[in-house]
Amino acid sequence: MKKFISIVTGMTVVCTFFIGCGNTSKTAENGELNIFIWTEYVSDAAIEEFEETYGIKVNVSTYSSNEDMLSKLKSESAGAYDVILPSDYAVEYLIAQGSLEELDKDALPNLTNIADEYLDEAYDPGNVYSVPYEGGVACIAVNTSKIDKEITSYADLFDESLEGQLVVLDDYRAVIGITERAMGLSMNETDADTLADVEEKLLTLKNNIKLYDSDSPKSALISGDCSVGMVWSAEVALSMEENPDIEIVYPTEGAYVFLDNWCVPKGAKNYDNAMAFINYMLSDTAAQMNLEEFPYLCPNTEALKLMGDDYYSDEAKNVPSEVIASGEFLKYLDTDTLAIYDEMWTKLKE
């Protein structure tokens, strides 16, 4: 989900490192940049400011799941995208496949804005291929004006009293993962016999699901079309602003935790522009713009200094550290296991 660049002439080199300088033209005199990012996750205003500052035209394509992104990368010719925004386990997979370019750390002075606790993760030791953007958890949203049942866990989402009331992420690793957590298992279960039990449990959720939506699940919550959601934390935060009856619940089993990262696909045609873009996104002001519009977990310490009490006091936006500590990250699973997951997902959505 990211890219960086180093501009090669005159004053433009200076502008690679400082946000406010340079010309304000959008005539793409310094070329283009093709980015492939999650829907509703990066501020249009931040992208436009990058274009104006660097004179680089940004072409934006979007996806709704890591699997969508990985599939599209495989089907496109090399160099189709210059910056992508994969989650932790997808970074792990792309590294293993030799599908990412190493990042030029000299072109990323703003990397110092990222807190040490979010660097050197197991999926990319040394951040050779990736740098953090934002993160969060898959949590639960409850419309308290419509739901009398106390909901404290992923397991509660399987209760028959919630028939036809759930909006869940259109993401098979997320939905199967929370099923595994509800059973006291890891979200990265690989044993075939155990996964047969997971499938049986998963299919009991079918009647409760009214809508699959990873793009904007908050819409169904705000409108009241769905009374309960298993959605990204920032989606709950935004829905709470529009509908005061909505509350956030962090599951007692420990939440699905994610961290999304800027990366450069192998063969990127605009590598220098990609590095400039990533460095810009790591700046405090760009990160603040993204955070104000999409209030996820923010690893950028300098951007956090610019945020007010509205962010810090809202546990849906500023996910409590104990929630992160008790949660679990996904891992990229082997092909045979993923085939079992895919078959489960197909049966659930039939």
Q: Cβ atoms within 10 A of the Cβ of 29, count?
A: 12
Q: Residue 309 — very low, low, confident or very high, per pLDDT cuts 50/70/90?
A: confident
Mean pLDDT over the full length of the chain: 92
Cα within 13 Å of Cα(123), Cβ side: 25
pLDDT in tens, 230-268: 999 999 999 999 999 999 999 999 999 999 999 999 999
What is the edge-to-edge ordering of all strands in the sheet holding 83-84?
Answer: 57-63, 32-38, 83-84
Q: Cβ atoms within 10 A of the Cβ of 46, count?
A: 20
- Please report how the helices 271-281 and 44-54 are oriented relative to each other, as an axis angle in degrees rounded to 10: 130
pTM for the full predicted model: 0.88
Q: CA-to-CA distance for 27 and 86, rounded, in angstroms?
A: 29
Contact 18, 56 (CB under 8 A): no
What is the DSSP pairing of strand 166-168 with strand 209-212? parallel
Q: What confidence score (pLDDT) does residue 229 get?
A: 98
What is the DSSP pairing of strand 256-262 with strand 131-143? antiparallel
Q: What confidence score (pLDDT) does residue 3 get?
A: 31
- Cα–Cα nearest to 328, from 256, 230, 251: 256
pLDDT in tens, 100-151: 999 999 999 999 999 999 999 999 999 999 999 999 999 999 999 999 999 9
User: Which segments of the chain does DSSP mark as H helices, in order?
Assistant: 10-15, 44-54, 66-75, 88-96, 172-182, 192-203, 218-223, 233-242, 271-281, 284-293, 301-306, 309-312, 321-326, 335-349
pLDDT in tens, 21-53: 333 344 467 899 999 999 999 999 999 999 999
Q: What confidence score (pLDDT) does residue 61 get?
A: 97
**Structure token pair of residue 245:** 């009856």
Residue 206 Cα to chain centre, angstroms: 25
- Cα–Cα nearest to 56, from 84, 36, 27, 85: 27
Q: Residue 199 — very low, low, confident or very high, per pLDDT cuts 50/70/90?
A: very high
Residues 54-75 have a mean pLDDT of 96
Residue 8 Cα to chain centre, angstroms: 32
Structural domains present in the chain: 10-130+263-282 (3.40.190.10), 136-257+319-349 (3.40.190.10)
Q: What confidence score (pLDDT) does residue 308 get?
A: 87
